Amino acid sequence: MSALLEVANLSRRFGGVHAVSDLSFTVDEGEILGLIGPNGAGKSTLFNLINGVIPPDAGRIVFDGVDITGEPPYVVARRGIARAHQIMQPLLGLTVLENCMVGACFGRENMSLADARAAAREVAQSVGLGDRIDTPAGALTTAGKKRLEMARALSARPRLLLLDEVLAGLNPTEIAHMIETIRGIRRSGITILMIEHVMRAIMSLSDRIVVLNLGQKLAEGRPREIAENPDVVKAYLGDSTLLTTVEAAP
């Protein structure tokens, strides 16, 4: 497998704080790479750097062989990186369909409005929002908004999907539902880079996992390797969830 995304020596500071510091890793085509780490480890900053919301201080980001460092988010999106946000950012006044159409229109495919409408309808249907197409996004439940977040990202037909804690705040049934959805997305050929705190989920979904701590890479490897890595355990000391979830993981 070739690397779809390559992050090299990436750094970003806010004031005196190193949010991300000299970070390097790659995401291979077709895999699900999990990104974990305690709060404030720099995970969301990393996502913001990758999709161009903020520029890095140093380092390179190469996507599909093209250097996209410092490109604005809409160019990055057009190249095929889509993102579902941790804090949901639906376009509240627009309907579900229109939300997805925005994704389809301005994503990698650069679809016409009519094509986008068709594509958006199908994707909305597929994440279970088919019957709510004309509902304003603001009227959806939390779970609905999460789905919308996903659907909108998918409508762009990205090559790489950044998922930022899409499971947070969902109940167990909804989580199970979402996990299946994510698996489906991967099967359709989309590479996924995901941040998640629900350990059971990320351990079961990810092909590989990168652990961040204080903006630096603490460890990288297959889920089981990560779970047994003493550095990781130390970083999560006091956070027994990691140990228990890993033990419970298949």
Partner 1 sequence: MNESVSQAVAKAAAARPRHAFGEELLRQARRPFPWLVVAFTLVCGLVPYLADDVGLRESLLLAAVYVTLASNLNLMIGFAGYVNFGNIVFFGLGGYIGVYLATAWHVNLVLASLAAGILVGFLAYLFGLGILRLRGAFFALATIGVNEAIRAFVTNFEPWGGATGIYLSMDAYEPLGGPMNGLWICYFLLVAVMGLSLLLGYAIKTSKFGLGLLAIGQNEDAAAVLGVPTPRYKAIIYSVSGFFPAVAGSLYFFKSGIIEPTSAFDLTASIESIVMLMLGGAQTVTGPVIGAFLYEELRGYLLVSQTFSHFQLVLAGALLLIIVLFVPGGFMGWLHGRLPRLRRWLE
Q: Under the rule (CB under 8 A), what is the footprint of partner 1?
A: 51, 53, 72-75, 77-78, 82-83, 85, 89-94, 98, 101-107, 109, 111-116, 118-119, 122-123, 125-128, 152, 154-157, 177, 180-181, 183-185, 187-190
Residue 95 is given by DSSP the state: B
Nearer residue to partner 1 within complex by CB, 100 or 219: 100
Nearer Cβ to partner 1, position 114 or 230? 114
Q: Which of 160, 166, 153 is nearest to 100 (CA)?
A: 153
Cα 239 to Cα 230: distance, rounded to the nearest angstrom: 14
* Distance (Å) of CA 208 to CA 7, 25, 74, 131, 223: 15, 11, 28, 36, 6
Pairing between β-strand 160-164 and β-strand 81-84 as defined by DSSP bridges: parallel
d(CA 54, CA 12): 9
Q: Please state the closest distance from residue 118 (CB atom) to partner 1, in A.
A: 8
Burial class (CB in 10 A: 0-12, 13-18, 19+), 156: buried
Closer CB to partner 1, residue 98 or residue 196? 98
Q: Provide the minimum distance between the beta carbon of 195 and partner 1 in the complex, in angstroms, as a whole number.
A: 15
CB of 185 to partner 1, least distance (A): 6
Of 13 and 186, nearer to partner 1 (C-beta) is 186
Q: Which is nearer to partner 1, 83 or 217 (CB)?
A: 83
- Taking the complex as a whole, the smallest distance from the CB of residue 59 to partner 1 amounts, in Å, to 21
How far is 104 from 123, CA to CA, in rounded Å? Answer: 10
Kindly state the smallest distance separating residue 35's Cβ from partner 1, in Å.
Answer: 18
| Amino acid at the residue 87 | I
- Cα distances (Å, whole numbers) of residue 76 to 47, 48, 210: 12, 11, 22
Q: How far is the CB of 44 from partner 1 (least distance, A)?
A: 13
Nearer to partner 1, 93 or 239 (CB): 93
- Over its C-alpha atoms, the chain yields an Rg (Å, rounded) of 18
